[in-house]
Structure 1
Amino acid sequence: MFILVNLKAYPCDPIEVASAARDVADDSGVRIAVSPQAADLARVAETGVETWAQHVDPNSHGSHTGSTLAEAVADAGAQGTLINHSEKRLRLADIDGAIQAAERAGLKTCVCANNPAQIGAAAALGPDSVAVEPPALIGGDVSVATADPGIVEDAVEAAAAVDDDVAVYCGAGISSGEDVATAGDLGASGILLASGVAKADDPRAALESLVDPL
């Protein structure tokens, strides 16, 4: 099971979270990554935790003011990137371009989508993984695996029907070890979460509770 902690733009200490994630990953053997703001990528990567960008743009070097260049993200120490998060939606052509840009820079890719139909379309673009995240449940107290387990199961089936090599992650409302275990039982090989760790008073304790059932 892979756990990816998205720090979004929350007012947390990215180094505290990254250090906690590194230590819990080392102690438990569970793969944990942290996705900070672009400005914090290098500092987070220096902690030794697996580091992911929150976004990359579908362009290469050139006149692209304000863009997040995949090569720059990789140079800062990122090993992967989210694409098309529900809070950073892209057009289909740009999702395709962002995947290609990330692959060019040697980054792993995870394309987020709202539902199983979109998961199938995203998987067809050839990312390393996809994540099903119903927008209505993001940031809430109920996980998608509990609120509507059929969405997770259908997403796993939709991705497998297109490409068996594309991993399926589960996001939205994940906050406990029980949520993580349930996601795994439904066929997900990873989870995305944010507030459950980023807003926690004790990020390490929050992460330990997530990996405990694993």
Structure 2
Amino acid sequence: MFVLVNLKTYPCDPIAVATAAADVADDTGVRVGIAPQAADIARVAETGVETWAQHVDPIDYGSNTGHTLAETAAEAGATGTLINHSEHRLKLADIDGSVRAAERADLETCVCANNPDQIGAATALGPDSVAVEPPELIGGDVSVATADPDIVTDAVEAAGAVDESVDVFCGAGISTGDDVDAAGDLGATGVLLASGVAKADDPRAVLEDLVDPVA
């Protein structure tokens, strides 16, 4: 099970969260990653935690002011990237372009989508993983694995029908070890979460609870 924490632009200390995540990963053997803001990738990577970009653009070197180049994220220490998060939606052609750009930079890719139909389409683009995240549950207190488990199982089925080698993660409302355990029971091999860790007074304690059922 992969636990990926998206720090978004929350007013947290990315180094403190990353250090806690690195320690929990080392202590438990569970794969834990942190996706900080682009400006913090290098500092977060220095903690030793698995570090992901929150986004890369479908661009190459050149005149692209204000965009995120996959190679730059990789050089800063990122080993993977989210693509098409619900807070940064892309057109299908641009999702494909971002996946290709990430592959060019040897970044692992996870394409986010709202529902099983979109998961099938995203899987066809050949990312390493896809993540189903119903927008209405993002940032809430109820996990998708609890509120609508069929979305997770249907997403796993939709991805498998296209390419069984693509992992399926789930997000939205994940905040406890029980949520992670439920996601695994439904066929997900990873979870995405954000506020539950980024806004926590004690990120390490929250992370320890998250990974406990799968450690």
In the superposition, the TM-score normalised over structure 1's length comes to 1.00
The 2-side partners of 1:93 and 1:48 are apart by 34
| Structure 1 residue ranges, 4+ long, deviating more than 2 angstroms after superposition | none
Q: Deviations over 1:93-120 (max 9, x none)?
A: 0000000000000000000000000000
Q: Tell me the SS of whatever aligns to 1:213.
A: helix
2:212 equivalent in structure 1: 212
CA distance in 2, matches of 1:154, 1:178: 20
Aligned to 1:132: 132
Query: In structure 2, what is the Cα distance between the partners aligned to 1:161 and 1:3?
Result: 24
Tell me how far apart the structure 1 counterparts of residues 81 and 212 of structure 2 sit (CA, whole Å): 26
Report Cα offsets for 1:5-24 as digits up to 9, x if no partner: 00000000000000000000
Cα distance between partner residues in 2 of 1:107 and 1:213: 28
Q: Distance in 2 between matches of 1:97 and 1:14?
A: 29
Residues 60-113 of structure 1 deviation map (CA, whole Å, 9 limit, x = unaligned): 000111000000000000000000000000000000000000000000000000
Normalising by structure 2, report the TM-score.
0.99
1:103 corresponds in structure 2 to: 103
Count of aligned pairs: 214
**Distance in 1 separating the partners of 2:168 and 2:4:** 13
Task: Name the SS of the counterpart of 2:213 in structure 1.
Answer: coil
**Residues 24-81 of structure 1: per-residue CA shift (max 9 Å, x gap):** 0000000000000000000000000000000000000001110000000000000000
1:160 pairs with 2:160: yes
Q: Which residue of 2 aligns with 1:191?
A: 191
CA distance in 2 between partners of 1:177 and 1:36 (Å): 22
Supply the distance in 2 between the matched residues of 1:177 and 1:63 (Cα, whole angstroms): 45
- Unmatched segments (≥5 aa) in structure 2: none
1:59 aligns with 2:59: yes
In the other structure, the counterpart of 1:11 is 11
Quote the residue 2:78 is aligned against.
78
Encode CA deviations 1:114-163: one digit per residue, 9 max, x unaligned: 00000000000000000000000000000000000000000000000000
Deviation at 1:212, TM superposition (A): 1.0
Distance in 2 between the 1:63 and 1:137 partners? 37
1:149 alignment partner AA? P
What percentage of residue pairs aligned between the two structures are identical? 79
Deviation of the 1:168 alpha carbon: 0.1
- Write the distance in 1 (CA, Å) between the matches of 2:20 and 2:174: 18
Matched with 2:91 is 91
**For structure 1, which runs of at least 5 residues remain unmatched after alignment?**
none
Q: CA deviation at 1:178?
A: 0.1
3-state SS in 2 of match to 1:142: coil
| TM superposition shift of 1:213 | 1.1
Q: Residues of 2 paired with 1:118 and 1:201: CA distance?
A: 35
